């Protein structure tokens, strides 16, 4: 900075000595243009120092996290109550909207009954296993009796004391009893498989009923929408009588979060050459004429829309000249008593890189001029 001032003063002194003090040359239109041209280049030193060592943006805006409030309901449902006023403070967990619960409450009660029935059926399945085991024992006992009878009549027939017809009958009866044993064993296996059908130790029919009930309870809970955090509701369009359903393309309101507001300012890419995270900044907000606020560089967004090519079957077109895309710098504002930062608040931001400190006073003067000018600008009476 001192060097730039010295060069400028030396140049002005030189012009004065040559053309006015000693009059070595006659000052005319030609020498006037040359002198102005050289002097203008001396002044460019100040421009370069300010732009690169103290980057400045008049395109700063307060950004707040927002959320579109869209009901998630499985059936066309009537909005019954709007429990909030737009642009008034809201606390986390405060109810915002209530929808008709009738069909969702009925569904929960229906599925709760089905879950109770499923749990009861599990007990019935245990009894089915007990009955199937008893049937297997009975079938085996009957089969053993038939086998004993067949063996007895075989001996009687050999001794000539029994009839062949009785032996044939018990032979057929044994085969029948063998089939009954196989059927009873199959029924027991079936009962065991039904009872042992589980997911994470829970019977599948019970697990299915629990899942259905949980889904129904979820939609019942969605009939009341609560504030996700401290903030305000804006763009409130919903009124009682509105019907929402399975498909909704638009939100019924916008929720603006109180927490973590920041300023996003855009800069020409080359002016961020020396900018790093954590560097101090000064901020002049249009809503506070004559005030300067402090902050820090939090992030530098190293991307613009010009660096993105969307998937398409079209070959990209490159047009020249194309305006340079600016990079955004995220600014964290220091706490200030009474400072309010509504989303969209406009202002200017100056970043101080710590280099070229001699130029800092000029930038500090400039941003303060901008802030005080907000008392008059815009000039609408």
pLDDT digits (tens, 9 = 90+) for 169-204: 667 776 777 777 777 777 767 766 666 666 677 777
For residue 2, the model assigns a pLDDT of: 44
Burial (0-12, 13-18, 19+ Cβ within 10 Å), 233: buried
- Measure the CA–CA gap between 262 and 274, rounded to whole angstroms: 21
- As for how many domains the chain has, the answer is 4
Together in a domain, 39 and 26: yes
For residue 98, the model assigns a pLDDT of: 95
For residue 304, the model assigns a pLDDT of: 84
For residue 286, the model assigns a pLDDT of: 94
What is the DSSP secondary-structure string of 111-134?
A: HHHHHHHHHHHHHHHHHHHHHHHH
Helices (H) and strands (E) in the chain, counts: 6, 15
Q: Is residue 118 part of a domain?
A: yes
Together in a domain, 252 and 268: no
Together in a domain, 45 and 138: no
DSSP 8-state symbol, 228: S
Residue-wise pLDDT for 317-362, tens only, equals: 777 777 788 999 999 999 998 899 999 999 999 999 998 877 888 8
Q: Which residue bears the tokens 């307060």?
A: 62
Q: Is residue 81 part of a domain?
A: yes
The kind and range of the H/E element at 60 are strand 56-63
% pLDDT > 70, the chain: 75
Q: Which residue has the higher pLDDT, 234 or 34?
A: 234
- Measure the CA–CA gap between 364 and 370, rounded to whole angstroms: 10
Distance of alpha carbon 5 from the chain centroid:
53
Q: Which residue has the higher pLDDT, 127 or 373?
A: 373
Together in a domain, 299 and 377: yes
Residue-wise pLDDT for 148-159, tens only, equals: 766 776 666 666
Task: Give the end of a domain, one of 173, 202, 231.
Answer: 202
For residue 367, the model assigns a pLDDT of: 94
Q: Is residue 38 part of a domain?
A: yes
Q: What is residue 223's three-state secondary structure?
A: coil
C-alpha torsion angle, residues 145, 149, 155, 157 (rounded to 10): -170
Instruction: Kindly state the average pLDDT of the residues 101-123.
Output: 88
Q: How many CB atoms lie within 10 A of CB 379?
A: 5
Together in a domain, 229 and 95: yes
Q: Report whether pLDDT(11) > 70.
A: no
Residue-wise pLDDT for 236-285, tens only, equals: 888 898 888 766 667 889 999 999 999 999 999 999 999 999 999 999 99
Q: Report whether pLDDT(134) > 80.
A: no
Q: Is residue 287 part of a domain?
A: yes
For residue 113, the model assigns a pLDDT of: 93
DSSP 8-state symbol, 316: P
Is residue 100 within 8 A of residue 81, CB to CB? The reply is: no
CATH code, domain with 95: 2.40.50.100
Q: Which two tokens stand for residue 253?
A: 């309101």
Together in a domain, 18 and 82: no
Q: What range does the domain containing 122 cover?
A: 109-202
For residue 153, the model assigns a pLDDT of: 60
DSSP 8-state symbol, 269: G
- Measure the CA–CA gap between 44 and 47, rounded to whole angstroms: 5
- Measure the CA–CA gap between 141 and 188, rounded to whole angstroms: 16
- Measure the CA–CA gap between 106 and 213, rounded to whole angstroms: 11
**Sequence-ordered list of residues with C-beta below 8 angstroms from that of 40, at least 6 positions apart, any chain:** none
- Measure the CA–CA gap between 251 and 236, rounded to whole angstroms: 9
Q: Is the bond preceding residue 101 a cis peptide, omega within 30 degrees? A: no
For residue 282, the model assigns a pLDDT of: 97
With residues binned 3-state (H G I as helix, E B as strand, rest as coil), the percentages for the chain, rounded to 5, are 45, 20, 35
C-alpha torsion angle, residues 338, 342, 344, 347 (rounded to 10): -10
Q: Report whether pLDDT(121) > 60.
A: yes
Q: Which two tokens stand for residue 25?
A: 């040359």
Together in a domain, 270 and 252: no
Average pLDDT, the chain: 81
Q: Is residue 213 part of a domain?
A: no
Nearest to 325 by CA among 263, 370, 272, 262: 272
Together in a domain, 49 and 59: no
Q: Which two tokens stand for residue 3?
A: 């060097």
Q: Is residue 214 part of a domain?
A: no
Is residue 202 within 8 A of residue 119, CB to CB? The reply is: no
Together in a domain, 233 and 89: yes
Nearest to 218 by CA among 104, 77, 96, 94: 104
**210 backbone dihedrals φ, ψ, rounded to 5°:** -65, -40
For residue 212, the model assigns a pLDDT of: 93
Q: Is residue 358 part of a domain?
A: yes
Q: Is residue 76 part of a domain?
A: yes
Together in a domain, 270 and 335: yes
């Amino acid at each position: 900075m001192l060097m730039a001032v010295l060069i400028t003063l030396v140049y002005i002194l030189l012009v004065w000595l040559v053309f006015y003090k000693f009059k070595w040359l006659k000052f005319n239109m030609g020498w006037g243009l040359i002198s102005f041209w050289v002097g203008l280049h001396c002044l460019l030193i100040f421009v370069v120092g300010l732009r690169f060592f103290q980057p400045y943006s008049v395109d700063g805006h307060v950004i707040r996290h927002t959320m579109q409030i869209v009901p998630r309901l499985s059936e066309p449902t009537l909005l019954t109550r709007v429990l909030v006023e737009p642009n008034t403070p809201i606390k986390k967990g405060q109810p915002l909207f209530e929808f008709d619960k009738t069909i969702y409450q009925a569904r929960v009660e229906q599925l709760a009954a089905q879950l109770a029935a499923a749990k009861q059926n599990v007990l019935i399945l245990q009894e089915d296993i007990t009955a199937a085991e008893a049937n297997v024992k009975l079938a085996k006992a009957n089969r053993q009796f038939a086998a004993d009878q067949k063996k007895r009549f075989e001996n009687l027939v050999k001794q000539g004391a029994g009839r062949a017809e009785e032996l044939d009958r018990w032979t057929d009866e044994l085969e029948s009893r063998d089939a009954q044993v196989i059927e009873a064993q199959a029924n027991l296996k079936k009962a065991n498989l039904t009872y042992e059908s589980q997911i994470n130790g829970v019977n599948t029919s019970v697990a299915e009923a629990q899942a259905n009930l949980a889904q129904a309870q979820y939609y019942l809970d969605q009939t009341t929408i609560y504030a996700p955090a401290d903030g305000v509701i804006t763009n409130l369009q919903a009124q009682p009588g509105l019907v929402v359903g399975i498909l909704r393309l638009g939100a019924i309101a916008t929720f603006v979060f109180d927490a973590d507001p920041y300023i996003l300012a855009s800069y020409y890419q080359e002016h961020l050459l020396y900018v790093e995270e954590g560097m101090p900044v000064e901020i002049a907000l249009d809503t506070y004429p004559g005030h300067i606020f402090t902050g820090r560089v939090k992030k530098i967004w190293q991307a613009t829309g010009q660096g993105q090519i969307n998937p398409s079957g079209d070959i990209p077109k490159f047009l020249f000249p194309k305006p340079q895309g600016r990079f955004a710098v995220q600014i964290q504002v220091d706490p200030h008593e009474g400072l309010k930062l509504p989303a969209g608040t406009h202002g200017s931001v100056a970043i101080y890189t710590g280099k070229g400190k001699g130029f800092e006073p000029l930038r500090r003067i400039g941003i303060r001029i901008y802030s005080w000018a907000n008392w008059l600008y815009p000039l609408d009476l």
